[in-house]
Homo-oligomer: A and B are copies of this chain.
Amino acid sequence: MDKTKLKDLIDSIDFTAAGKQMYQLIAELYPICRSITGNGVRQTLSKIKSVVPLEVKEVPSGTQVFDWEVPNEWSIQDAWVKNSKGDKIIDFKKSNLHVLNYSLPIKKKVSLKELKKHIYTLPDHPDWIPYRTSYYQKNWGFCTSYKQFLELNDEYYNVFIDSTLKEGSLTFGEFYLKGSKSEEVLISTHICHPSLCNDNLSGIVLSAMLGKHLSNVSLKYSYRFLFIPGTIGSITWLSLNAKSASRIKHGLVVACVGDSGNFTYKKTRQGSAEIDKAVRHALQNSQNDFNIIDFFPYGYDERQYCSPGFNLPVGCLMRTPHGEYPEYHTSADNLEFVKPENLAASLSLYLDVLYILEENKKHISQNPMCEPQLGRRGLYEHIGGHADSKKLQFALLWTLNLSDGHHRLLDISERSGLDFNLISDAADILVEKGLIKEHKTRS
């Protein structure tokens, strides 16, 4: 019945294989046309369910969620534009980005002039199709490459969008993993984008894989994974769970974790929460360049979790941030833009962060007056057996010295300049020898 320890799990994962698995799952989810509601979301959640046993929840259209209302549900079967010869020159079946997301149904013959009013392009990247939405303003439209747009002849076109926008529900997935404490770690990812790989199939598959792995592990915190449409999804969830949201002690929004850029961590609104320190430490240990940026109230769902009435300690851990790579929200955010090895390294970093959170204990020295005699307790043997015995000796002394009720292991790691793992090892040894005792706070 004994579950693995998180550390052993991390050591046992074949990250190369995990990267390939995540990439494969992206490839399967890529063709689905997702939006903030509708069947695309349901199909997506159903696929994720094969990885992690999430619960699918439906919230009826019209439900009041704080200042917002759950919108009508959008579904789409087909859409195209035909020229006067009857050739399908724009075809939803080829790329679901071709349709303005949340387009109303239409079947109409239009002039080139009228058609152009409903076509969105990217003149700076003439080969790419942009991704555009119109959730709260009723409209219809198509997105094409700028190149194709320039080649349109002055003739009449038949436009056809076979969509529905009607009462239904907003769908999201929730996966709850009970730990020994009721205090929670939130992992939140948005699932509303259609065929875009980095933003945010990468986030979806990383969250799923994380949930799968953690299921096999003995955990201190409880973990809540949310697979939700952006903005309206987090608002809906917070509205339904306003009272219990304070159980969230640490949180991360997962997005854009498959590209090849350096990691970027956007801090919580609080700015120096434990999650902020844990991510910084994990990044410093990763020995790659990284950026840590301050909170700002736009971006992904952290803007809702960090609204002043909640002010939850939720940060956002990405590679290249939204809007800062040209492929962002275009057809170029495709299966070539994300890489298995990037996904694997992202998963590894997330696990390192969670490991720190899980192990970031506070201890009280049982021997606070002067140092205890280490030799008498055979602690030098421990030291001798360790790869870097000098460092472990320092770690033991630091941990003894700072186990005063004011420092967690991560604080000790930061003050000593020693790696968190080493400090954590030292603490385990000292607990075993009865020299320090974990200081547990109620949960």
Q: A-side interface residues toward B, CB under 8 Å?
A: 65-68, 136-137, 231, 234-235, 238-239, 242, 269, 296-298, 303-304, 306-311, 365, 367-373, 375-376, 393-394, 397-398, 400-404, 416
Contacts and interface: CB of A to CB of B under 8 A. Distances in A.
Contact of A307 (B304, B309, B371): B371
22 contacts: A67-B372, A68-B370, A136-B373, A136-B376, A235-B370, A238-B369, A238-B370, A239-B369, A242-B369, A269-B401, A296-B398, A297-B371, A297-B400, A298-B397, A303-B397, A304-B370, A304-B371, A306-B401, A307-B371, A308-B365, A308-B400, A310-B370
Nearest to A399: B297
A241 to B, nearest CB: 11
A369 B303 contact: no
Contacts of A306: 401
A239 B369 CA distance: 8
A89 to B, nearest CB: 32
A369 B241 CA distance: 12
Contacts of A231: 371
A217 to B, nearest CB: 32
Contacts of A303: 371, 397, 401
A371 B309 CA distance: 10
A124 to B, nearest CB: 17
Nearest to A368: B309
A426 to B, nearest CB: 12
B401 A297 contact: yes
A contact patch SS: loop
The count of identical subunits is: 3
Contacts of A298: 393-394, 397
Contacts of A416: 296
A231 B67 CA distance: 58
Given A136-B376, A297-B400, A365 B67 contact: no
Nearest to A402: B308
Contacts of A369: 66, 238-239, 242, 307, 309-310
A242 B368 CA distance: 12
A363 to B, nearest CB: 11
The 5 closest A-B pairs by CB, nearest first: A309-B368, A297-B401, A309-B369, A308-B404, A67-B372
A67 B370 contact: yes
Given A136-B375, A375-B137, A67 B367 contact: yes
A239 B370 CA distance: 9
B403 A308 contact: yes
Nearest to A231: B371
Contact of A373 (B68, B365, B368, B402): B68
Given A66-B369, A308-B400, A309-B370, 11 more contacts: A65-B370, A67-B367, A67-B370, A231-B371, A235-B370, A297-B397, A297-B400, A307-B371, A308-B365, A308-B403, A309-B365
Output the residue of A368, A371, A402 with the most chain B CB within 10 A. A371
A311 B401 CA distance: 9
Nearest to A403: B308
A266 to B, nearest CB: 14
A25 B259 CA distance: 66
